[in-house]
Amino acid sequence: MEKNKNFVIITGISGAGKTKASEFLEDIGYFCIDNLPLNLIEKFVEIFKKGISNVNKVAITLDIREKDFDINFPEIIKDINKKGINPFIIFLDANEEILIKRYKETRRKHPLYSEEGLSSSIKIEKDMLKPIKEISDIVIDTTEMKLSDLKSRIVEILKEEKSNLISITIISFGYKYGIPLDSDLMFDVRFLPNPFYMDNLKNTTGLDEEVKNFVLSNDTTKGFLIRFKDLILFLIPQYINEGKSSLIISFGCTGGRHRSVVIAEETKNFLEKNGFRCTIFHRDIRK
């Protein structure tokens, strides 16, 4: 039976990166549940098969925190396979040295911690989870991985488009009302021709066709957009490679009603044509 990559189970050694893996899956559109009790998985599978509103991809994180996890997990997988789901299982692992280092840095307590110490707890967990590691579809060793490497590996395994890795918000604003403090990239477009000084355009906005034509037909605007589009298509993959899951791009003009609105809309249309997910917010258009 073909593995269902719309139903992913993340498991593995404590400290190997399961939480981060779940966060990455959430970034690319998975509905994620952390530490769902094993006795509820079959019920959840039934709900998933019937359909959940706006949810077509799920990821469940399961680990040794649950009593008798190592014994019950394989049996649960057999049962849900019989229901026709056949989940895709990702097992995360890392060597003992790096796991000890991570625990010391975070000061977290290992779920199997005993008086024998952290090293002993890690060895016990690795032994307990060997059968689960063997039935997993993919094992990812995170020992030498940066977070961005782990994200790229998960995307590669699940064959997600890179454009789904980042959510882009585009904001237009007026400098007279202050800058958006949460911007990642900010562009001042006050050098473009200002429709405000045209009697027939003063009381319009950048959403009106005549304002759009006025701004976009200018040679300075055309030159700017050519250079800007090349820049933004270069920058976005760099942010993705660094593990960034959201990006806020802001455009400002004097009042936030004309030029910034036109350029923000043009940017949104351009990025969507190139496969990126975008939302847009015209902060000051009605002021």
pLDDT in tens, 171-211: 999 999 999 988 999 999 999 999 988 888 888 999 999 99
41-58 pLDDT, tens digit per residue, is 888 888 888 877 778 899
In the predicted structure, residue 133 carries a pLDDT above the cut 80: yes
Cβ partners under 8 Å of residue 267, min gap 6: 170, 228, 232, 249, 251
Contacts for 154 with CB less than 8 Å, ≥ 6 apart: 21, 24, 25, 90, 140
**Distance from C-alpha of 152 to C-alpha of 138, rounded to nearest angstrom:** 14
CB burial string 246-283: b at 16+ within 10 A, e below: ebbbbbbbbbbbbbbbbbbbbbbebbeeeebebebebb
Asked whether the beta carbons of 15 and 101 are under 8 A apart, the reply is: no
What pLDDT digit, counting tens, does each position of 75-92 carry? 988 988 888 888 999 999
- Residues 6+ positions from 23 with CB-CB distance below 8 Å: 32
pLDDT confidence bin for 11, thresholds 50/70/90: very high
**163 compared with 131, residue with greater pLDDT:** 131
User: How many contiguous H segments (helices) and E segments (strands) does the chain have?
Assistant: 10, 9
Mean pLDDT of 141-156: 85
Note the pLDDT of residue 163. 59
Which structure tokens are listed for 99? 């796991």
Under 8 Å between Cβ of 238 and 184: no
Which tens digits make up the pLDDT trace of 208-229?
Answer: 999 999 999 999 999 999 999 9
**Residues pairing with 139 in the sheet:** 91
pTM: 0.61
Domain 4-160: what homologous superfamily?
A: P-loop containing nucleotide triphosphate hydrolases (3.40.50.300)
| Residue-range domain boundaries for the chain | 4-160, 165-282
